[in-house]
């Protein structure tokens, strides 16, 4: 694992050391050459041999050395491989000049001095290097860039040996015969290379390529002077030709140093931005940030990661990578598979990861990152949201408790109203009977007969309410269990439906039972089914206006027996349909509502159906009727012989329908 600051410091250190070594080496070489020249000048006997050509050679040697150093330094800063390849060309120049094979000519007007002007073999080597720098020979370039030191040594060695061979006249003899043609070839080639770098500079907006283009162009101009000098050997032309070499070197060196200055400025700006980025990432107080490679090796982890991981004292001596690896082994394998697929397909993933041993949930995001050098890395950002989730759960629980309290309070208010109404009627009737019992002129039996139905109905209302409360309590504690037996469900539903026809007729409501099945045996608790159906039918009658219709339909498929109770009454408001089967929910909760009820009937129905392994569904547009559908499993008990022993319980019916009539006052 690396640290951004450490990597940056190490890279800067290596670059600075290399640059310092190159500068000091060149300075030392130049100093030695000049000191040697000084000792030569002090010797009187040497003065007669000193001439302009010696100075030219020394100055060219210094410029070539500076060009090599500038190339390598600029390459280290910009990482442009063309600069390193061109530095090899200047290595050839340096060796050539050292051997006296370049611009080493007689400056008299009448003398053609072609041999000392240029060495063809080393010139061809320089041209080859230039062609490689602009070509698409990636294999050759890769070999050179992978073996930099070896490349410099090989080029220097080849230049030295072929320069010696040509200097001794062993190769490329009789240059006068092809000297002009060769320089025409150089002009064309230099112009092509110069134009290529100029186009590259414009297209890529890179200043350094224009510097290379300019220096190469001057070498082409020098080739023009060589042709003219070969035809008309004037000392002025020869000196001008030599000065072009100077200018080519100076422009190149000056351009590279300017590029170095600009590069240093850019690097400082980049370093400032990198420091800001580093501060944001490493000093982030809220998010843990980890970067790892495609082999799973962690390359960076910010301080928050370390503080987060090592909060356990037992793990302080362990490495970040080992602790993270240990934690990742606890993550669900299916989730790991999902993460890998998402990263592979979408280059990222975001979600929550649960760590069982820490009882901790992490909000995590993973991003695939490709560097400019082709590296494939992954950045993980995560933070502990366990406390946040717990707070949210507590808030949800609190809201549920609060809602439950509100519903409970409404229920108790409703129950109080439901109990008070029949109790008030009891009290009023008892008061009336007490008053009449003391009046000897009144026939008490007739008075009692007149009011006993009122007492009976309201007693049943109270019993129904108390039974519902007891039933829901028994269901909650698991006391109530279904007593399964094989029953003819068609006959059970038909008998229950027909038993309430008289109650519907009191409101001129038409009840129809429809089925295409004459008999079908399934396992169920018939008394529970009766309770559920009576509740649905009483609701249908209660909320259907006079002259309305109620349809009870039964059919079956392979899996279920479907029982449908449909009315064309007032419907159930859409806003409460999602919780209509919850406790104490009513469409009208006001104490002045038109229909009585505690709001727990449908909750009991749902519980009864589920105790019979069934399901119940509601369908209503909120205004035009309601449809309830009960689904019971289409299966029966093995070995349990069917015997129809179900009888309609009239008392249950009267109890269930006790609150659908107008109250006595």
Note the pLDDT tens digit of each residue in 523-533: 998 888 988 89
Q: Mark which of 357, 384, 411 sits at the end of a domain.
A: 384
* Structural domain total, the chain: 4
Asked whether residue 188 falls in the same domain as residue 68, the answer is yes
Long-range contacts of 323-331 (CB under 8 A, 24+ apart): 324/290, 324/298, 325/296, 327/355, 327/357, 327/358, 330/355, 330/356, 330/357, 331/355
20 is a domain residue: no
Q: The domain containing residue 418 runs over which residues?
A: 390-475
| CATH code where residue 533 lies | 3.30.565.10
User: Angle formed by the axes of helices 526-542 and 601-611, to 10°?
Assistant: 150
Distance (Å, whole) CA 542 – CA 39 = 128
- Tokens of residue 567, six digits: 């009315």
Asked whether residue 116 falls in the same domain as residue 197, the answer is yes
Among 215, 92, 102, CA closest to 156: 92
Other CB atoms within 10 A of residue 446 CB: 9
14 is a domain residue: no
- pTM for the whole structure: 0.46
Distance (Å, whole) CA 407 – CA 404 = 5
Q: How many CA atoms lie within 13 A of 67 on its CB side?
A: 28
Asked whether residue 236 falls in the same domain as residue 166, the answer is yes
pLDDT of residue 48: 43
Q: How far apart are the first and last CA of the chain?
A: 88
Asked whether residue 459 falls in the same domain as residue 367, the answer is no
Asked whether residue 368 falls in the same domain as residue 461, the answer is no
Residue position matching structure tokens 């109203």: 417
257 is a domain residue: yes
pLDDT of residue 542: 86
Exposed (0-12), middle (13-18) or buried (19+): which is 93, by Cβ within 10 Å? buried
- Tokens of residue 72, six digits: 């390598």
76 is a domain residue: yes
9 is a domain residue: no
Asked whether residue 375 falls in the same domain as residue 319, the answer is yes
* Average pLDDT of adjacent 10-residue blocks, the chain of 665 residues: 50 48 52 54 45 72 86 84 91 86 61 64 91 89 91 92 86 80 91 91 85 87 84 75 79 81 77 76 79 81 74 53 74 85 87 84 87 77 85 84 74 68 72 72 74 72 73 76 89 89 86 90 89 88 89 93 92 82 58 47 88 92 88 86 61 66 39
Q: Mark which of 421, 440, 475 sits at the end of a domain.
A: 475
Region of 353 on the Ramachandran plot (φ > 0 left; ψ -120 to 50 alpha; else beta): beta
Please, are residues 235 and 109 in contact by the beta-carbon 8 Å criterion? yes
Q: Mark which of 337, 365, 384 sits at the end of a domain.
A: 384
Identify the bridge partners of residue 289 per DSSP, sorted by sequence position: 381
134 is a domain residue: yes
Asked whether residue 207 falls in the same domain as residue 352, the answer is no
22 is a domain residue: no
Asked whether residue 441 falls in the same domain as residue 310, the answer is no
- Cα dist. 411→271, 398, 462, 586, 591 in Å? 70, 19, 15, 10, 11
Asked whether residue 407 falls in the same domain as residue 498, the answer is no
Taking only Cα atoms into account, the Rg of the chain, rounded to an integer number of angstroms, comes to: 51
- Tokens of residue 261, six digits: 């200055």
Among 568, 585, 564, CA closest to 513: 564
Q: Which run of H or of E encompasses 561?
A: strand 560-567
Asked whether residue 330 falls in the same domain as residue 448, the answer is no
Among 567, 534, 571, 565, CA closest to 660: 534
- Tokens of residue 209, six digits: 């390529």
Among 652, 421, 457, CA closest to 535: 652
| CATH code where residue 461 lies | 1.10.287
Widest pairwise Cα distance in the chain: 173
Asked whether residue 114 falls in the same domain as residue 236, the answer is yes
Distance (Å, whole) CA 360 – CA 327 = 11
634 is a domain residue: yes
Asked whether residue 308 falls in the same domain as residue 335, the answer is yes
Coil, strand or helix: which one is 343? helix
């Amino acid at each position: 694992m690396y640290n951004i600051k450490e990597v940056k410091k190490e890279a800067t250190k290596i670059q600075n050391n290399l640059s310092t070594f190159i500068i000091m080496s060149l300075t030392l070489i130049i100093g030695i050459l000049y000191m040697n020249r000084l000792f030569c000048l002090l010797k009187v006997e040497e003065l007669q041999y000193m001439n302009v050509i010696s100075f030219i050679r020394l100055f060219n040697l210094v410029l070539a050395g500076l060009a090599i150093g500038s190339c390598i330094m600029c390459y280290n800063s910009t990482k442009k491989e063309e600069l390193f390849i061109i530095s090899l060309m200047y290595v050839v120049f340096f060796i050539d000049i050292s051997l006296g094979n370049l611009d080493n000519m007689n400056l008299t007007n009448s003398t053609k001095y072609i041999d000392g002007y240029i060495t063809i073999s080393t010139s061809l080597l320089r041209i080859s290097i230039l062609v490689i720098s602009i070509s698409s020979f990636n294999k050759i370039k890769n070999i050179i860039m992978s073996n930099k030191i070896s490349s410099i040594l090989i080029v220097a060695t080849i230049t030295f040996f072929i320069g010696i061979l040509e200097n001794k006249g062993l190769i490329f003899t009789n240059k006068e015969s092809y000297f002009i043609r060769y320089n025409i070839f150089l002009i064309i080639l230099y112009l092509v290379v110069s134009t290529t770098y100029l186009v590259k500079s414009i297209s890529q907006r890179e200043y350094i390529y224009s510097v290379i283009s300019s220096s190469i162009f001057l070498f082409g101009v020098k080739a023009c002077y060589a042709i003219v000098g070969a035809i008309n050997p004037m000392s002025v032309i020869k000196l001008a030709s030599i000065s072009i070499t100077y200018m080519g070197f100076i422009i190149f060196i000056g351009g590279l140093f300017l590029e170095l200055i600009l590069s240093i400025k850019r690097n400082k700006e980049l370093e400032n931005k990198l420091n800001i980025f580093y501060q944001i990432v490493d000093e982030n107080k809220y998010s843990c940030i980890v970067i790892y490679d495609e082999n799973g090796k962690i390359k960076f982890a910010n301080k928050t990661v370390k503080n987060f991981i090592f909060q356990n004292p037992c793990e302080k001596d362990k490495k970040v990578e080992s602790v993270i690896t240990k934690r990742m082994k606890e993550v669900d394998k299916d989730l790991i598979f999902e993460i890998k697929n998402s990263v592979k397909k979408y280059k990222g993933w975001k979600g929550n990861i649960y760590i069982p041993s820490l009882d901790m949930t992490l909000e995590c995001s993973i991003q695939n990152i490709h560097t400019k050098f082709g590296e494939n890395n992954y950045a993980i950002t995560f933070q502990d949201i366990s406390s946040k989730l717990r707070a949210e759960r507590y808030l949800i629980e609190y809201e549920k408790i609060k809602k439950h309290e509100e519903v409970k309070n409404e229920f108790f208010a409703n129950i109080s109203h439901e109990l008070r109404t029949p109790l008030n009627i009891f009290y009023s009737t008892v008061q009336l009977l007490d008053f009449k019992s003391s009046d000897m002129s009144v026939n008490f039996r007739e008075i009692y007969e007149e009011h006993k139905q009122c007492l009976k109905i309201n007693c049943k209302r109270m019993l129904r309410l108390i039974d519902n409360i007891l039933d829901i309590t028994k269901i909650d504690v698991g006391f109530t269990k279904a007593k399964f037996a094989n029953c003819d469900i068609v006959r059970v539903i038909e008998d229950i439906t027909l038993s309430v026809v008289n109650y519907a007729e009191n409101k001129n409501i038409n009840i129809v039972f429809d089925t295409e099945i004459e008999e079908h045996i399934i396992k169920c608790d018939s008394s529970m089914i009766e309770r559920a159906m009576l509740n649905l039918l009483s609701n249908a009658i209660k909320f259907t206006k006079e002259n309305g219709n109620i349809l009870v339909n039964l059919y079956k498929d392979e899996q279920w027996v479907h029982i449908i109770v449909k009315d064309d009454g007032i419907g159930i408001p859409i806003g409460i349909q999602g919780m209509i089967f919850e406790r104490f929910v009513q469409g009208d909760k006001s104490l002045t509502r038109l229909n009585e009820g505690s709001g727990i009937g449908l909750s009991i129905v749902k519980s009864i159906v589920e105790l019979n392994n069934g399901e119940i569904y509601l369908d209503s547009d909120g205004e035009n009727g309601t449809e309830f559908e009960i689904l019971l499993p289409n299966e029966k008990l093995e070995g349990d012989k069917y015997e129809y022993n179900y009888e309609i319980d009239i008392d249950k019916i009267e109890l269930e329908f006790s609150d659908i009539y107008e109250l006595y006052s």
